Structure 1
């Protein structure tokens, strides 16, 4: 069973995230197992709510989700219940939840973090709208920042200051993802861009995917990529607290995702002609740079405080309330801004 879970998790990340799969190979065996199993659970939850498989929707569901029998509200409620049962130590038959149970109980992943992640899917189910960049960052926290917190727990991080940096990397990743996927998201009726930015650019929200708005949309994407930069910078400061191989893996993932944002910005209006990514050669170069960053972070220990201007994850007290809300309803907790 143990090997079957690992095989399932490895296959999941190989299909679901080629960028992170490459970096994950740098972890030591035990950490890699935990990271892959957590990823498998996150991917599973995302797919269940969206009616997809490894990020791809069956034709029937894509054409008419409810007609195909897909009810995201019920699916989300089931995910919450399965998460509760996993933490209670019940035997889990679903491979993704068996994997999650193993990693969550072994590494002491806090239940509120798992429920906060599910609250991010609830925001999609509710078709949440984002007026400001802080609203967008609140979504980024739930779907990616809190994943950074859980990943850091697997790597042994417990210091709140280090966890803040891990959350910052998740925020940066998701801002990059949003910039890369603006048009694809719009084509399925989703938008994570601040409505205020769209109004400033003169783009109606229901016209985001139209070619005539590409120039203005490229400016918004560039603005989003620029907004991710201080979070990528903040994340660097957390590398020194991780075991060296974990630091190498995370430093590499940081560089690869950051490079995707650079590609989106460089392409301008043609950013969405093909999916932005990095070549194998570029990944190899960034892997080497990641090793340098992992080592240099141990030398350049300035202990500089996290910039106050950055969006701040919910405090432990409010996040605990968020977990309770996520367990009982669809509404995510309000975010706090720095």
Structure 2
């Protein structure tokens, strides 16, 4: 404590506990960073995790109670107020939001990226659902692509380097599309659906009926479409690792492999992908970490000259 306030080390330690509880995959990948980058990644994760938990009435992703429509706006306002205080450089008194204050101060993080992420929580609070594929990517940007850009800044990328930020955004989109494919049934249980309405119409699936057993084969087609999209964004993201240090590239490539494996597993399991939550085991994660070491070592040979496909969604500038 310093003058009654928690020290940076104390807030980092709390953030480390948060990522260990909230995401074993991200926790494993973060260990590959150098110490300074790892701590900042933990600080950023702690804020993202706290916002998600506040918005959804959860504790590190585990449901505590169902958030009513009336509560949703109040919770969103709490996120906005605490985030604004952190961005103003004030102590918030909440370790996760003080973590944001620290990482923004230390990295020169553009405030716009922070508010872009908050906008994702606003979309959920409003019960928003995507009508088109472009809507799906827009939502995925706000809840994950913008976080990818923030992580790039944490790793030392200039906030003005738009080309590298595009690749970082692509990785966030790949992660989110994998999550959506994996969590279709779980999202439906809390009244959410991130499959574009146009996709459901194309497959002749009535609104709210997509998880019914007799539509399972059609749902599998859409999940595989998500996995294919995720793979495109994952491939594009790898081209951005040339701008990173070896250890940061190693961590990014490991995370890409682990999350890409989730999407590929959902696709390969097919109609039974939602019988149990798809996970990646410890041995498989270690395999991706080892493979990513080799990829990071040879990233100039593997990814140099990799063009970002023009058909990929363009993030807002």
Aligned position for 1:28: 34
1:304 to partner: Cα distance: 4.0
Superposed CA deviations along residues 281-337 of structure 1, whole A, max 9, x for unmatched, are: 11111111111111221234533432111101001xxxxxxxxxxxxxxxxxxxxxx
**Contact preservation (8 Å) 1:146, 1:167:** yes
1:97 to partner: Cα distance: 0.7
1:96 to partner: Cα distance: 0.3
Aligned position for 2:134: 134
Task: Using structure 1 for the length normalisation, give the TM-score.
Answer: 0.88
Distance in 1 between residues matched to 2:303 and 2:50, nearest whole Å = 38
* Aligned partner of residue 268 in structure 2, secondary structure: helix
1:209 to partner: Cα distance: 2.3
Matches within 5 A, 1:181-220: 181-220=183-222
**Contact preservation (8 Å) 2:295, 2:302:** no
Task: Using structure 2 for the length normalisation, give the TM-score.
Answer: 0.94
Residue segments in structure 2 that go unaligned for 5+ positions in a row: 1-6
What's the C-alpha RMSD, in Å, of the aligned pairs? 1.4
Aligned position for 1:153: 153
| Farther off after superposition, 297-306 or 48-57 | 297-306
Residue segments in structure 1 that go unaligned for 5+ positions in a row: 316-338
* Aligned partner of residue 237 in structure 1, secondary structure: helix
Matches within 5 A, 1:56-205: 56-58=62-64, 61-62=65-66, 65-66=67-68, 71-158=71-158, 159-205=161-207
Superposed CA deviations along residues 24-49 of structure 1, whole A, max 9, x for unmatched, are: 11011110000011001001001111
Aligned position for 1:53: 59
Distance in 1 between residues matched to 2:198 and 2:164, nearest whole Å = 32
How many residue pairs get matched?
309
Distance in 2 between residues matched to 1:190 and 1:220, nearest whole Å = 16
* Aligned partner of residue 59 in structure 2, secondary structure: coil
Q: Which runs of 4+ in 1 moved over 2 A?
A: 1-4, 298-305
* Aligned partner of residue 291 in structure 2, secondary structure: helix
Superposed CA deviations along residues 144-173 of structure 1, whole A, max 9, x for unmatched, are: 000000000011112211110000000010
Distance in 2 between residues matched to 1:6 and 1:232, nearest whole Å = 29
* Aligned partner of residue 131 in structure 2, secondary structure: coil
**Contact preservation (8 Å) 1:26, 1:248:** yes
Distance in 2 between residues matched to 1:250 and 1:258, nearest whole Å = 12
Distance in 2 between residues matched to 1:46 and 1:277, nearest whole Å = 20
* Aligned partner of residue 298 in structure 2, secondary structure: helix
**Contact preservation (8 Å) 1:49, 1:121:** yes
1:55 to partner: Cα distance: 1.0
Distance in 1 between residues matched to 2:83 and 2:150, nearest whole Å = 14
